[in-house]
């Protein structure tokens, strides 16, 4: 598939998927979704790729749904739920369960669904000038793309409510303080730091990462006893991986491990 709204770069074991409509601050249109699906299929099928970086071209990360795509005033009764069912919800489900570590490299504004797509990634890194904005209330909508699920878990109910009702821009420094962003970096070193973090994850124990992600995501719905059972099952699988043997050998030989991801 030829991409017009996104760019995909695979360098070594890191795939960088960029939203690429900088003139609209990387708004996501109907044509963006099939491209994203195709790119994620390609990344998932490439067993050499062990980390996904999602970012935006130009000065923004993503401004959410393309608000110029439909003639709202004259298009009758719109079913926005259909768009979520067909496009955003599968995307968020897929990112949250993606089998390799994912980094949202939030290089600039991340608004509306764009903010919540970032939250669906495992690690959020932000440029100091970037911000997140639950912009939905400004246009009479409710937060979607997983925002009402991720936010209260990340920052607590009251902060989530304030973010969604005021719909203000939340600067990167506040995102870091509240635990939304893992780290923020000055704009001039942001790209280099993203590459550094991606390289670390891409050299990690990919299978153990996948199991850890799954267990952490499942923890919200499990009681302690069920979670302990899940940890047992996950550890059983990780314990029979080649990376476990390599990790222990490396520890005993006082050297860095060379994980193969399996």
Smallest separation, CB 25 to ligand LHQ (Å): 4
Tokens of 237: 């699988």
Q: Which is closer to ligand LHQ, CB of 35 or CB of 66?
A: 66
The contact pattern for ligand LHQ, residues 125-144, with x = CB under 6 A and - = no contact, is: --------x-xx-xx-x--x
Query: Strand 110-111 vs strand 131-133: parallel, antiparallel, or unpaired?
Result: parallel
Stretch that binds ligand LHQ, among 107-115, 173-181, 199-207, 227-235 (CB under 6 A): 107-115
CA dihedral for 203, 93, 214, 190, sign (positive or negative)? positive
In the three-class reduction of DSSP (H, G, I as helix; E, B as strand; rest coil), residue 110 is classed as: strand
- Spatial CA neighbour of 51 closest among 11, 108, 7, 5: 11
Q: Which is closer to ligand LHQ, CB of 86 or CB of 228?
A: 86
CA dihedral for 239, 245, 250, 253, sign (positive or negative)? positive
Verify binding: residue 147, ligand LHQ, rule CB under 6 A: no
Verify binding: residue 107, ligand LHQ, rule CB under 6 A: no
Binding residues for ligand LHQ restricted to 208-227, rule: CB under 6 A = none
What one-character-per-residue DSSP string does 41-71 give?
Answer: HHHHH-TT--EEEEEESTT-SB--B-TTSS-
Q: Which is closer to ligand LHQ, CB of 138 or CB of 258?
A: 138
Which of residues 8, 19, 25, 175 is near ligand LHQ by CB under 6 A?
Answer: 25
Binding residues for ligand LHQ restricted to 5-24, rule: CB under 6 A = 24
Verify binding: residue 205, ligand LHQ, rule CB under 6 A: no
Smallest separation, CB 199 to ligand LHQ (Å): 30
Q: Which is closer to ligand LHQ, CB of 110 or CB of 123?
A: 110
How far is residue 51 from each of residues 37, 68, 91, measured CA to CA in Å?
A: 17, 33, 17
Which of residues 68, 85, 186, 189 is near ligand LHQ by CB under 6 A?
Answer: 68
Cβ atoms within 10 Å of 198's Cβ, excluding its own: 26
Q: Measured in whole angstroms, how far is the alpha carbon of residue 82 from the centre of its chain? A: 22
Tokens of 176: 């870091």
Interface ranges with ligand LHQ (CB under 6 A) = 24-25, 27, 63-68, 80, 83-84, 88, 109, 111-113, 133, 135-136, 138-139, 141, 144
């Amino acid at each position: 598939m030829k991409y017009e709204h996104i760019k995909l770069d695979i360098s070594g074991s890191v795939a960088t998927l960029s939203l690429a409509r900088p003139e609209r601050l990387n708004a996501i249109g109907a044509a963006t979704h099939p491209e994203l699906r195709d790119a994620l299929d390609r990344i998932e099928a490439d067993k050499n790729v062990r980390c996904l970086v999602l970012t935006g071209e130009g000065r923004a990360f993503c401004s959410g749904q393309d608000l110029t795509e439909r003639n709202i005033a004259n298009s009758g009764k719109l079913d926005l739920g259909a768009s979520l069912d067909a496009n955003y919800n599968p995307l968020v489900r897929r990112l949250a369960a993606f089998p390799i570590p994912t980094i949202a490299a939030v290089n600039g504004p991340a608004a509306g669904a764009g903010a919540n797509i970032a939250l669906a990634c495992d690690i959020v890194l932000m440029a100091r000038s970037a911000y997140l904005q639950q912009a939905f209330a400004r246009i009479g909508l409710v937060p979607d793309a997983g925002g009402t699920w991720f936010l209260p878990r990340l920052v607590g109910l009251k902060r989530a409510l304030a973010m969604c009702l005021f719909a203000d821009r939340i600067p990167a420094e506040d995102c870091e303080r509240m635990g939304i962003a893992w780290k923020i970096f000055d704009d001039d070193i942001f790209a280099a730091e993203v590459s550094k973090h991606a390289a670390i994850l891409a050299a990690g124990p990919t299978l153990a990462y996948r199991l850890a992600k799954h267990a952490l995501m499942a923890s919200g719905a499990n009681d302690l006893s069920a979670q302990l059972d899940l940890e047992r099952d996950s550890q059983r699988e990780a314990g029979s991986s080649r990376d476990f043997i390599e990790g222990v050998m490396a520890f005993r030989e006082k050297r860095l491990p060379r994980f193969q991801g399996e």
